[in-house]
Structure 1
């Protein structure tokens, strides 16, 4: 199979598209701060150079600006400036030859070597081999390449982001260099909403899917064969060996520690928040359904109703639920958002070996009485999908989020949950040993905070009831639900003339003179 070519309207064969889809996607992101985590050797810097030349060559009214490129060594800096010169020739732009120069550094004994291309627009592309102290006060686009490997990325970002005040841009590109690196922290800050910015991610296999190997064949002048692509990819992974996850798959190394510290979780805990636990014996599901329903309703009336009545009526309510039937727990985590937008836990419910119908019964009992219930999120994997679907049918698919807990979902939402704890906007976690252990059960696996496969039990013993971070997952789902867009529908029923039937909104649903639903 040969490299696909493009046909114009007259069916004339044209050259392949110059940029691959992921390169176009990166260039297409227009944001004051954009951050790209990438695999090695996929040509993202080359695509960045293509965009930089267009920006530097444009007049100021057309959005033109000077571009400052910062690589962490001289070789990559020279490679970048040569790519810019190539693009200028390809665009047929008038441009000066590459000019080598020297910038003074704050240290009088040191100087900074520069490479510059000037354009008739008056703007330039200036490539630097190290961090310049005099970047402060300048204006334009700053490109920080292989950011994770700069000596002091935090200080460099501080200086670069100052350019945003005057309409500049900061583009940060890098492979990873560990979870504790400032580059990975920047990405997590953006995911957590602590810093505004646009994120881009391209692992090696995604680049291959977009035609990277075909482009390699084109550059080498060899015919592309689909059957050889998998072998080539495997050779690349074999070359990087144990480092392939970080170098190729955008997974920062040196992870594995607890995602949330004990100090942080304990600061957000409250001894007055109850944990209600209901466990039925093995074989309970074979009892008559009417007896099971009656017993569960009695438990709800005795234990749940007083807590639900104690919740103020002027809050907004949400919940998260992690499902389990025989092996793991089911945990329902209600969450109420107060006037000041802080999110408080009124109580937590743990269900062990509770049949499906009773779980649905207890769940509906809670949701129908939560004041101003707006949104919920369920673990919809496996058997949890059925319970989540039943809940969505009962309370509306627009209010029940059915979540598949994938690596991507954890990557996007765990930083936001951690930020909520750090900012004290998520609080009143039950000061319960097992619940706190579940919340702290998240571990950094392949650069993403998630619950590991290994299960634990309450007592730390080899036998006994098992736990699998169930309460922690429910807490994260509740926080996720509280951040989703909500559709609010209200109506006022006008009864027929002479009718005594009336409808009013209550904290537990819509109450009519015919009952509550």
Structure 2
């Protein structure tokens, strides 16, 4: 017998998030694992919405599933919730839905009427079924609907008069309109609320314990592990899409070549540094004395980089990204200037091969000190990059975003970059190696990321420029808020504007407000 004293909350955390989101947002989209109970929670939302008076947010609710049995099951859920909530409601009714485009055809549908005057109606999944309707629309397992694009178009029309739309689904391929919608949200094209729940997320939030409670069984750690393993075994090769919320992959590159070429500008320079060849019995560059290495790199910065920094628009905000590498791959630094038209323009790109840690810090400081109105820096803090990013944070404070590269990071941050390419909101150098780096970004488990390396006469590449550009774009979208001390560039360095006789800055730096704290 189960102890009824410590009963859990009625709704699990991810179900509570759905209810909160529907209350707060006009459009909520959920990408989910199979059999996690979202339809059950959505039925509770439907019952509460239809049973409330108009002044309390009440409205009609229209539900669509991709087949009739789903609609009947959902209406039964609503009836159960109406009973639990003690709402005055009719019994489930099956009625004939008159197709507005084909009046000669009768389609069976279900509904429950509430004393509030509103109703929950389960309609066939055709766009014309929403014509002339107003209220809350719930699309369940939307990816499997025959005309999801048309249904979404019809559903969004309800927003004009204050309606709401909820789209819930398991994935059904990368090219599916549902996944297109997800990418539009992540890319910033659609201002909708996105929720995500994998099978593991549901397990962590009490799915197994809830199943045991319903079955009248005791939940144990051993039982939970066995249940998890059994479900994964049953789904086998379909587990990624069905349970892990990863749409089945397509072949090909992430960014089409024609799109890359459309954003390329031959006027953008790419500066490449490699260790000087040993001469006069000197060993490899890394073994040179620190001061000698610093002078060598500073000479390159003064000759090649400083003139580019001097040409930058002093009124334009700038951002900076770096994909860090020490020996095998390239360390790529990518500035971005943010124009008044919000186009992110690349002024130049630096590629550093086998540059010691201290000199990479030297280059970063020189470039970032010279970038006007530096908004933020997004730095690869994975592995050896961690110490480099920390050093930058010591100098530039909260403007530094230290990024540990991971699948969730790629999932959230690569789609906005692709949107920028599609919208013409970014420029990149017209350079063969940089184009190759972008072409190395592939869709892996539904997430764009670099999966291979290339080797040319200069050495090995691992999509370094593409990742640096993605980091720079992240930094360009950041809105850091800070109050702190900002060093003034050394006299004579790019960006310095005071003469040697000007002591207003006390020879050290300036205290200023940064960000948007007012």
Contact 1:439/1:471 (CA < 8 Å) preserved in 2? Answer: yes
Q: Does 1:205 align with 2:177?
A: no
Query: SS at the partner of 2:312?
Result: coil
Contact 1:114/1:127 (CA < 8 Å) preserved in 2? Answer: yes
Distance 2:319 2:429 in 1: 17
TM-score when normalising by structure 2: 0.91
Query: SS at the partner of 1:102?
Result: strand
1:430-463: CA deviations, max 9, x gaps? 11100111122211111111111x211236xxxx
Distance 1:306 1:3 in 2: 75
Distance 1:291 1:448 in 2: 44
Contact 2:317/2:374 (CA < 8 Å) preserved in 1? Answer: yes
User: Counterpart in 2 of 1:404?
Assistant: 404
Offset of residue 211 of structure 1: 1.1
Offset of residue 426 of structure 1: 1.0
User: Counterpart in 2 of 1:17?
Assistant: 9
Offset of residue 109 of structure 1: 4.2
Please tell me the root mean square deviation across aligned C-alpha atoms, in Å: 2.2
User: Counterpart in 2 of 1:508?
Assistant: 495
Offset of residue 509 of structure 1: 5.4
Aligned CA distance change for structure 1 residues 465 and 4 (closer, same or farther; 3 Å): farther
1:203-228: CA deviations, max 9, x gaps? 01111111111111122222222111
User: Counterpart in 2 of 1:68?
Assistant: 62
Offset of residue 338 of structure 1: 1.6
Distance 2:206 2:224 in 1: 10
Correspondence for 1:117 among 99, 112, 120: 112
Offset of residue 386 of structure 1: 0.8
Contact 1:4/1:16 (CA < 8 Å) preserved in 2? Answer: no
User: Counterpart in 1 of 2:86?
Assistant: 92
Contact 2:270/2:429 (CA < 8 Å) preserved in 1? Answer: yes
User: Counterpart in 2 of 1:438?
Assistant: 437
Offset of residue 413 of structure 1: 1.0
1:4-35: CA deviations, max 9, x gaps? 86xxxxxxx26432211211111111311000
User: Counterpart in 2 of 1:496?
Assistant: none
Distance 1:407 1:125 in 2: 40
Query: Unpaired segments of 5 or more residues in structure 1?
Result: 6-12, 493-502
Query: SS at the partner of 1:351?
Result: strand
Contact 1:118/1:125 (CA < 8 Å) preserved in 2? Answer: yes
User: Counterpart in 1 of 2:157?
Assistant: 162
User: Counterpart in 2 of 1:273?
Assistant: 268
Distance 1:233 1:215 in 2: 14
Distance 1:284 1:68 in 2: 70
Query: SS at the partner of 1:341?
Result: coil
User: Counterpart in 2 of 1:257?
Assistant: 252
User: Counterpart in 2 of 1:351?
Assistant: 352
Offset of residue 262 of structure 1: 0.5
Distance 2:77 2:216 in 1: 20
User: Counterpart in 1 of 2:423?
Assistant: 423
Query: Unpaired segments of 5 or more residues in structure 2?
Result: 278-282, 510-518
Contact 1:510/1:516 (CA < 8 Å) preserved in 2? Answer: no
1:21-51: CA deviations, max 9, x gaps? 2111111113110000111011110011011
Distance 2:111 2:180 in 1: 32
Aligned CA distance change for structure 1 residues 247 and 305 (closer, same or farther; 3 Å): same
Task: Trace 1:249-328 onto structure 2 (pairs within 5 A).
Answer: 249-280=244-275, 283-328=284-329
Query: SS at the partner of 1:65?
Result: coil
TM-score when normalising by structure 1: 0.91
Correspondence for 1:486 among 480, 484, 496: 480
User: Counterpart in 2 of 1:455?
Assistant: 453
User: Counterpart in 2 of 1:54?
Assistant: 48
Distance 2:46 2:388 in 1: 52
Contact 2:47/2:82 (CA < 8 Å) preserved in 1? Answer: yes
